[in-house]
Amino acid sequence: MDQKTYPELDVLCVGMITSDVMLKPVDPSIFTVDKTHLTNLTYSVGGDAANQSVIFSKLGNRTGIAATPGADDAGVNVTKYLERFGVDTSNCVAIPGTHTRTSFVLIHSDGERNLLGYTLNCGHVSKETLDLEQLAHTRMISVGSIFSYAELDAYLPEYLEEAQRRGVITAADTMSNMNHVPLANLAGILKHLDYFTPSYVEAQELTHKDNPDEQADVFLSMGVKNVVIKLGTDGCLIRSGSERYHLPIIPTECIDSTGAGDNFVAGFLTGVLKGWGLKKCGEFATAVGSIAIREVGANSSLKNYDQVIEVLKEAGRYEE
C-alpha cells in the first residue's frame, strides 16, 4: 500500500464550508409588498474555514482546508471553487449520504445581512475527519469558528494540545453561541490557543462583560496568549500579556459585510506567519477587512497581497 503524502502547508483552516446564495437587497419591507426585484443574485462558496482559506491563499500562503463538503454535486462544486484559488482540499472528507451545507444570505441595502441556513443531514468535522499526521507538515492551525460543530469542539482540546506539542501555531475564531455554551466549557480549548479572535458580541456573550478590555482579561486569564476582539465600526482591540492596541477601521462604503470577520482573521494571521508584531498584524488585517466589504460575496473582494498594501498606503497606515 502506498504511503499517504501530506501537503506542506503554512496554514490549515479547520471548520465549515457552505454553498452560498447571495441575495440583495432583502430588507424587512419585502414582507409588506407582493414582489421585490433583486439587484444582485450570486452563487458562491462560504463558511468560516472556506472564507479564511481563500483569503489566506490570495495573500500568498500555502493553504489547506479540513472540512466536510457534502457527497453531492454542491460538494463537488465548492471543492473545485477552493482549488481554483490554490487551496489544497486533500484534507476534505465527503461523508457518504450527506448534503452540503447551504446558506441563503439576505443582504440589506446598507450591506448588513441575515442568514438562512440549511444544515439537515450535513457532514460534521470531528476527530474522525482530522488527520493528526498533517500537523507535522503544517505551520499553523486556524479553527474557523468554535460552535460550528459540537463534535469538533469536544475534540479541540486534544487536537490543539497536540498541535502545540508539535510546534504548530494555534488560532481560533467563534461564531454565534446559539446554544449558550458557558465559558467554562471552553477552558480546555482556550488554554491551547496562541490567538483567539472573537467579535465583540461573541466575547460579550461568553464573558458577560461589556468592556472589551475586561473581555480580553478574561480570555488571557484562561491561558490564551493573544486576544484580538473585532469591534465592528470601532475597529479592533489587540491584547497580550504585555501589549495593547486599539486600531480604528479604514472607512469605506459597505456593499456586503458577509465574511468580513473571516477576511480580517486571515489577514491578521498572515501577518503572524510573516513574523510581524501584533500592531502590524492588526493594521494589515484592518485593511483586509476594509476590502472585504466592497463587493458582494464572502471572499470575492480581495484580489491579492499588493491590493492590501495599496489600501494601507492610501490610508497613511503602511509600515515597512
Taking only the tens place, the pLDDT of each residue in 286-312 is 999 999 999 888 898 999 999 999 999
Query: What's residue 21's pLDDT?
Result: 87
Q: Are 102 and 50 in contact (CB under 8 A)?
A: no
What proportion of the chain, given as a percentage, has pLDDT over 90? 79
**In Å, how far are 150, 155, 226 from 127, measured between CA atoms?**
11, 6, 26
What is the distance between the terminal CA atoms of the chain, rounded to a whole angstrom?
Answer: 50
d(CA 240, CA 262): 21
Taking only the tens place, the pLDDT of each residue in 167-215 is 999 999 999 898 899 999 999 999 999 999 999 999 999 999 999 999 9
- Chain centroid, CA 114 distance in Å: 17
**In Å, how far are 13, 98, 130, 141, 246 from 102, measured between CA atoms?**
19, 12, 22, 25, 35
Query: What's residue 222's pLDDT?
Result: 98
Task: Tell me the whole-structure pTM to 2 decimals.
Answer: 0.92
Q: Which CATH class is domain 9-314?
A: alpha beta
Query: What's residue 43's pLDDT?
Result: 83
Q: Are 28 and 4 in contact (CB under 8 A)?
A: no
Taking only the tens place, the pLDDT of each residue in 251-287 is 999 988 888 999 999 999 999 999 999 999 999 999 9
Q: Which residue has the higher pLDDT, 226 or 106?
A: 226
Taking only the tens place, the pLDDT of each residue in 18-73 is 998 889 899 888 889 999 889 888 888 999 999 999 999 999 999 999 999 999 99
One-letter identity of residue 80: K
What band does 8 get if pLDDT is binned at 50, 70 and 90? very high
What band does 2 get if pLDDT is binned at 50, 70 and 90? low
